[in-house]
Amino acid sequence: MASSMKSLFSDHSRYVESFRRFLNNSTEHQCMQQFMDEKLPGIIARIGDTKSEIKILSIGGGAELVAKTSNLENIKFTWHKETSSEYQNRMMEKKELQKWDFIHMIQMLYYVKDIPGTLKFFHSLLATGAKILITLVSGTSGWDKLWKKYGSHLPRDDLCQCVTSSDLMQMLDKLGIKYECYDLLSTMDISDCFIDGNENGDLLWDFLTETWNFSTTAPPDLKAEIMKDLQEPEFSVKKEGKVLFNNSLSFIVAEA
């Protein structure tokens, strides 16, 4: 690794901007909306069949996900928001484990140090008939290939783990937790990454590699190799002159 390469997370403002470009160039939110419209109402309805109130714990963000879901007008929601480590530490200190009907973890397990321990703890908080919804990138996505092949060549810090639904399902299997997994296709238009000096492309490079100013700090041979791979079918599809990176998401519903 070149000494000039450093983690994108070392520059908060650039990370935020690269994330914004990712959202602008991907179908991430449309993919989540599709799941909310097609799958989530049925999942929530089954939980709420015998309950007038559903207690929901939102971990790490996505607090409005369930509230915006259609056909839930007759259900009262009780919200509780904080990070997973904050909540877990507070509960352990109080020695009080409140039960929840629905817990959702939206794109946040990358930022948890002990994922199996976190899964085990929050699964223990589920009431009878309750469920956990976990959203993260699919094991069939381009991210999985990118991280496995190039992770050791890119700067890493303790803030983010390269974990996909394939990794998560192995953890759930070891914990003996039953689950269902729904995969939905999402793409990210990375065409600008192949235009030298393109600002949008440079920021997307940063997001893809989690590297600050990747385009100018990465060894040329490393950048050339990744650039070549990103155009291969296992990473992306080419459509109407665009290169669309496979950003597919998995929605894993774990049972109590």
User: Could you tell me the residue ranges of all domains in the chain?
Assistant: 6-46+55-60+81-255
Residue numbers in the known binding site for substrate are 28, 247
What is the pLDDT, as a whole number, of residue 205? 97
Res 59: pLDDT: 80
* Beta-strand runs (E) in the chain: 53-59, 76-82, 100-106, 126-137, 179-184, 187-189, 236-239, 242-246, 249-255
Which pLDDT score is estimated for 16? 92
Token pair 């590297």: residue: 211
- Residues making up the binding site: 28, 247
Helix (H) or strand (E) run with residue 84 in it = helix 84-94
Task: Residue 55: name the closest of 131, 119, 115 by CA.
Answer: 131
Q: Mean pLDDT, consecutive 10-residue segments, the chain of 256 residues?
A: 69 90 95 92 84 80 57 60 75 81 90 92 93 96 95 78 94 97 97 96 96 93 96 96 97 96
**CA–CA distance, 163 with 256 (Å, rounded to integer):** 23
**What pLDDT, on a 0 to 100 scale, did the predictor assign at position 2?**
41
Q: Kindly report the pTM of this predicted structure.
A: 0.87
Apex 44 CA angle, 38 and 45, nearest 5: 95
What are φ and ψ of residue 12, in 5° steps?
Answer: -60, -45
pLDDT at 149: 95
CATH architecture of 6-46+55-60+81-255: 3-Layer(aba) Sandwich (3.40)
